[in-house]
Every structure is written in structure tokens, then in C-alpha cells.
Structure 1
Amino acid sequence: MSKLLDPKVLMAIKDLSLSAKMTIDGFMNGINKSTVKGPGLEFSQYRSYQPGDDLRSLDWKMFARSDRYYIRESEVETNIAVRILIDASASMNHSDGDFTKIDYAKYLGASLAYLANLQGDAIGLYVLKNSGIFSMSPKQDYQHLARLFYQLEQINPDGKFTKPIHYKELFAGAQKRELLIFVTDLYQTDDEIIKLLDTLNTLRHEIVVFHVLSRNELDLDFKGYSTFEDLETGETIQIDQTKARANYKNKLNAYLEETRIKLLDRRIFYRTICTDEPLDQALRDFLKQRSKLRI
């Protein structure tokens, strides 16, 4: 694995676009753009003629040699719209060491956007916070990508998760299925994030949820701290970490399993990702889900 996929190395590079480029250039080394069979320019293979096939695709030279009808299939690049959703509620300010969940989300979002752009996909950005939603509709060009990087850099988490608005109208898009990637810590008080996902699910798009967690909240190891504050409500609580750790981990594991099943039941791809984990698996998950949208 390249050191450029190490989040500590990535976040030492303050230029988000440079970090994304270096990450993806290393990750994509030797990987070609995805292709599908279709009426393109580059030859792929022959197959037997079937009733209803376009006669213009018949290969008459093969017919002359074999006295049988064959169709020439070729390869075309697939292009889709990828919408990146970033949770910018205050809980994303949670830190572990030198960087926060939102830092990790920014670098992950930037890397995914660069990778999608490299594959010829249109990329959109949606930042969800209490004051509403900032949106950039999907588009495919370098200037749009540069603006997307700039908007990612400007994210400053604040307040609770966004209040319900016209999600369906905002994400309806074109008639084709799209890939929606949601980077969030899934901190919610009234299932508001699940309700958002339910709404998006009715649009029949492919949805990927990256559930961002920090190592200290996974292990309940806050290096001597005993007072904890809710970043969204300001409420505080006293905890003896040593005594609480076993019970905490049991409840956390139960919560994560319950969340996984909830999203699995909704046919939403779900992966927990820790802020100290390299980005390579998240990028592979993206490519895997993207391949399902070949039309």
C-alpha cells in the first residue's frame, strides 16, 4: 500500500487537490477506465446474430468466411453522475489526535471526486448542515472539479444535522441511476439521517454510506479525560472510562450491527471507516459500486 493513502500523510498536505491527485495517481496505477460492451469504436469481440439486433452491426467479412451472421461488439466508456454528500453537523468536529472527522471526510470526498472525474463521470457536491444544504449539481470538467475542491475546503461543521427539506426534488436528477456517496458519522437524534436515506432510496439510485468513526470513540480511550461534551447539544457527562469501557464497547458493537442491518435491509452499501484507516478500501468500494451502474 502506498504511504500516500495514509491519512496522516494525506492531511499533512494542506492543498486538497494536490493530496487527492497524489492519492489517486498512486491508487490507479495500472487500473484502466471501466468499459462495457456496446456500440463504440474499439473492437471487443464477436457474438452470434440474434433476432432484433441492429443489422448495421453485422460483420459481412465474417459472413463471407463462415456463411454465418456475427455481430461486432465494441467497448465504450461508461459515464455516470456521482453525488458526494458530506455531513457537516457539529459532531463531525470530533477529533482524534491532530485531525477531525470532517478533515477525513474532506480528503475522502476529494479523492473520490478526483477518481470519478478521472473516469469521465460528472461529480456533484452536497454539504448538509443545520442551516440547510449547499449544492453543486453534477458536472464533468476540470474547472468544476477545482470549484468542488474549493467548496470542500470551506466546510465548517456547525449545529445539528440538516432539517428536512425537499430532498427528493434536490436529488432527483436525470432519469438514469446515479451513485450517491454519503460520508457521515451517523450522529442523529430522531432518525433524521435514516429518513434522508429512505427518501433517497425511493429514487432508485445506488447509495454508499461511509460511516466515519474515530479510534478514540471506538476504543473509548480519551487519555485521561472524564468529562465529555455533546458537540451538537452542549450537554456534558462524567465518565470513568476504565469502568465504562466494556459496557460501552458492547453497546457500540450492537449499535453498529443494528445500523448495518438497517441499511442492508434498504439495499444501501454500508461501511464503517476509522479516521486512522488508509483510503484504499474506500476507493475500492467506490469502484465496485460504480461498476453496478453500467447501463
Structure 2
Amino acid sequence: MLLDAQTLSRLQGVKLRARAVMEGVLSGLHKSPHQGQSVEFAEHKEYAPGDELRHLDWKAYGKFDKYYVKRFEHETNLRAVMVVDASASMGYQSTALSKLEVAKTLAGALCYLLVRQQDAAGLAVMTEGRFRDVPPRASAGHLNVLLDALEEATAKGGTQLVSAADHLAEVLPRRSSVVILSDFLDEDPTALKRILALRQRKNDVAVFHLVDPAELTFPFDDPTLFLDMEGDGRVEVNPREIKESYLEEFGAFLNGVKSACAEADVDYELVRTDERLDEVLLRFLGKRGRRR
């Protein structure tokens, strides 16, 4: 099956879309020359003060010039939490799927993959400053709870990444893997730094940055009324007069998020909502595998 956005939009609900993407990922991994690649985020972790020095992996140090600590079998069962931004701006769409629908599908596919390999998957959906938490578990029955919670998420309210950072700092188990799916359109200039600070708490953090193709290309010609999806603002402009400056500003915004993630040692994945989502996840897993 081709897993482009148009095809996925014909599948009703998160469960079917996420399962289709998961099967596409498994098929892609099977064909990959890198056998053994999986959704696992790491078999080693970077050394942190307090870790046992006798567990340092000197071969890894020789290869990467960084200190890594071996994780033993009882430690390698992953606890991963999908953090889905369900603010109003995530409801924007110019193609078959909205940013939120893509985020929910990616989160659902990762939950499928994690539970399949007996790792614990959890969820935090943030809407209007409130949170729907599903604690990490590894059972097959728990997968339905996660997918049902994703299904119920709707786009509304403002983006509040600072509240999300504070909430996650309270509820996340230590040394969790955290996957944040958002468009990061937050008016608070400290928001991105605050959410990325979860990495400093010894969590493994990855970012899926959701963008709509129209946000990247600004394909408007005639006078257009633009509405603020998270407030009351509205402005009518001639798009041809502002296109160049808009594209420059939006490009700077994207580069800023990517650079902040790199500085925080957080994996960054830019996701267009018209992309094949199995290819997005294969790209992501490939990067994780190379890091490992």
C-alpha cells in the first residue's frame, strides 16, 4: 500500500492509519541492509555523574570520543512517552491530513512498534493547558487505551509548551524516552528552551516538528483574510507583498527550532504533512541506529 497522505486520509481513525504506517515501517526495516535495526532508542546511554565507572564501554569511547555506559538486559526495556500537541494551530491543513492527524498517526505507529517489542509506551496529550496522561505500560491491551486516547484528541486552545514542560517534569519516570510532536508555534519566547530542558533531566528526547506544505511555500496570490487559529487576530493582506518576508521569517523559525534541538542534544525530525509517514519513521529510526 502507498502510504501517502491522500491514501491515509481514506482510512478512518487513528488505529487503522497507525497500523498501516507501522506495517510499512516493518516492511522497510525488513528490506533494510542494516539488519537488527528497531525502534529501540539506545543500547548504551551517555555517561552522567553518578553512573558506575566500571560499566563504561571503552570501545564506544574509542569510536565516538564520548563516554557511554552499557545498559544491561533488565535496563533496556524502554519507557517511552508520546507528547502530542493538540492546540488549535495543529488543526491547520491545506492537504489531506492536518498537522494533528499526522502527529496522532505517528504517535500511534510508534506505540504499535514499542508494544510489539515489549517496551512500555505512554501518552500525554496537551490541549488548552490541560493534559490527558496515559502512563507507560507494555501490554497489548494497553495499546488500545493509547490509541483510543489519541482518537479523542481534537485541536483547540493555545499552544502552552511551558505548561507542558512543567507537567512532564512532574509525571515522567526518570530516564524516559520522550517524543514530542508539535508545530512549536508558541508565543512564549522561552517555551522551546523549557520543553527541551527535559533532556537535562536525563531523559532521551526526540522532536517531530509538524509543518503543513502551505506554511513552507505560502501559495497564496489574491487578497486573503488570515485568521489566528489560537486567538482573535485577523488581518487581510496582499500575499504577494509579504511572501518574501514571510518565507524568510518562517525559515528562520524552522532553523531556530532545529538549532535549539541540536544544542540540547535532542533528535530533530521535520515532518511535512504530505510526506509518507512510514518513510518519516524509517528516516528517524535510521538516525537513531547510527547514533547507537
Q: Same fold (TM over 0.5)?
A: yes
Which residue, out of 74, 78, 81, partners 1:80?
78
- Flag structure 2 segments of 5+ consecutive residues without an equivalent: 44-53, 56-72
Indicate conservation of the 8 Å contact 1:80/1:293, yes or no: no
1:2-13 alignment, distance < 5 Å: 3=2, 5-13=3-11
Report the structure, 1 or 2, having the larger helix content.
Answer: 2
Q: Provide the rounded CA distance (Å) in 2 between the counterparts of 1:199 and 1:26.
A: 33
Residue of structure 1 in register with 2:60 after alignment: none
Aligned-partner SS, 1:83 = strand
Q: How many residues align?
A: 256
Residue of structure 1 in register with 2:269 after alignment: 271
Aligned-partner SS, 1:95 = coil
TM-score, normalised on structure 2? 0.78
TM-score, normalised on structure 1? 0.77
Whether 1:151 aligns to 2:149 is yes
Give 2:256's aligned amino acid.
E
Greater relative contact order: 1 or 2 (C-alpha under 8 angstroms, separation 6 or more)? 2
Q: Provide the rounded CA distance (Å) in 2 between the counterparts of 1:99 and 1:262.
A: 27
Which residue, out of 219, 240, 243, partners 1:242?
240
Give 2:22's aligned amino acid.
I
The Cα offsets for residues 62-109 of structure 1, whole Å up to 9 and x where unpaired, read as xxxxxxxxxxxxx99942011100001111111213431111111111
Indicate conservation of the 8 Å contact 2:24/2:278, yes or no: no
Query: 1:191 Cα shift?
Result: 3.0
Q: Provide the rounded CA distance (Å) in 2 between the counterparts of 1:178 and 1:290.
A: 16
CA distance change for structure 1 residues 33 and 140 in 2, over 3 Å: closer, same or farther?
farther
Which residue, out of 202, 210, 213, partners 2:200?
202
Residue of structure 2 in register with 1:60 after alignment: none
> Rg bigger for which structure?
1
Indicate conservation of the 8 Å contact 2:25/2:279, yes or no: no
Report the structure, 1 or 2, having the larger strand content.
Answer: 1
Aligned-partner SS, 2:105 = helix
1:1-295 alignment, distance < 5 Å: 3=2, 5-29=3-27, 30=30, 32=36, 34=38, 78-162=76-160, 164=163, 165-171=166-172, 173-174=173-174, 177-191=175-189, 193-222=191-220, 224=222, 226-288=224-286, 291=289
RMSD (Å), alpha carbons: 3.0
CA distance change for structure 1 residues 192 and 159 in 2, over 3 Å: closer, same or farther?
farther
Indicate conservation of the 8 Å contact 1:79/1:119, yes or no: no
